[in-house]
Structures are given as C-alpha cells and as structure tokens.
C-alpha cells in the first residue's frame, strides 16, 4: 500500500494498511507499506511491516484498507487497535481509478529514485520547444515571402 503514512494525534500513532489475515477471533493482521531508499544501491524499495490489531466486532476482512491506532499491550504481540475500516475490499471502484493510482505511485517512486531529473527534463523540453517554435516561425515567414 502506497501513500500509507504515520500520523500522530496527541500521543497515539495511527497507520493505514491492508488486512492480510482475519482468521483469529477479534484480531486482524494489518500490513503497512512504506517506500524507502536502499542504503547502498539508492533504489526506492517497498517495505512492509505487519501489525496485529484488536478488532472487537470482527468487522474487518481480508483485503480491507483500515486505520489502526497504537494502544496498550493487549497480548504478547498485539499493540494496536482498529479505529475504522477506510475501504472495503470490493469497493475499490472502477479499474480506471486503480490505474490512475498506479500511475501516481509510479511517478512518486521514479521521482524519489531520480531526484533532479524532473527539473532537467523540464529544462530540456523548454529548450526543445523554444527552438521548434523559432524554426516554425522562420518557416511561416519564408512561406509568406514566397506568396508575396
């Protein structure tokens, strides 16, 4: 899950992730993804961390996007609780929305992997556009001279 960030409200952290298991009673396993740069190769890699969260009403199911909040230790491994189900697994909308989201994610990954490239590409486009416009203007002027 891209775009999943950590927010702090007061003292408790919240995370958005995807439910990967709901087999336990009143417990879900939530996978939270984040993007990080590899220390040696400088590539942007996708890292995921799994958290066990308390789901009192067993309302979250596999594939749901959920918001979890930090809490006191509830068991040996459970330190989070379910706040809300942000999006159900079957409610993702049309495939066009997912494709648009993938493009935005891809742009973010490439932008992070190649800092400064966007500015260089914009400068190249401006230079290329400027010379193409001047060539087109020269061609228009020469065509007008031929007609006259």
Average pLDDT over residues 128-144: 52
Q: Which of 40-54, 107-121, 128-142 has the lowest mean pLDDT?
A: 128-142
Q: In 3D, which of 72, 68, 59, 58 has the Cα closest to residue 32?
A: 68
For residue range 61-114, what is the model confidence (pLDDT) as tens digits? 999 999 999 999 999 999 999 999 999 988 755 566 656 677 777 787 777 777
Strands 44-54 and 78-87: parallel
Q: What's residue 112's pLDDT?
A: 76
What pLDDT band is residue 16 in, cutting at 50, 70 and 90? very high
**pLDDT higher than 80, residue 13:** yes
**pTM above 0.75?**
no
Q: What's residue 15's pLDDT?
A: 97
Q: What's residue 111's pLDDT?
A: 78
């Amino acid at each position: 899950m891209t775009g999943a960030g950590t927010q702090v409200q007061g003292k408790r952290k919240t995370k958005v992730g995807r439910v990967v298991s709901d087999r336990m009673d009143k417990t879900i396993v939530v996978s939270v993804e984040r993007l990080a740069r590899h220390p040696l190769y400088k590539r942007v890699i996708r890292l995921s961390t799994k958290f066990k969260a308390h789901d009192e009403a067993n309302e979250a199911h596999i594939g749901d996007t959920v918001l979890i909040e930090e809490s006191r230790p509830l068991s040996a491994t459970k330190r989070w609780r379910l706040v809300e189900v942000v999006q159900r697994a079957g409610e993702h909308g049309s495939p066009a929305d997912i494709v648009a989201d993938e493009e935005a994610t891809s742009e973010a990954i490439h932008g992070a992997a190649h800092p400064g490239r966007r500015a260089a590409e914009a400068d190249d486009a401006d230079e290329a556009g400027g010379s193409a416009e001047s060539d087109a203007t020269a061609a228009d002027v020469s065509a007008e001279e031929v007609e006259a």
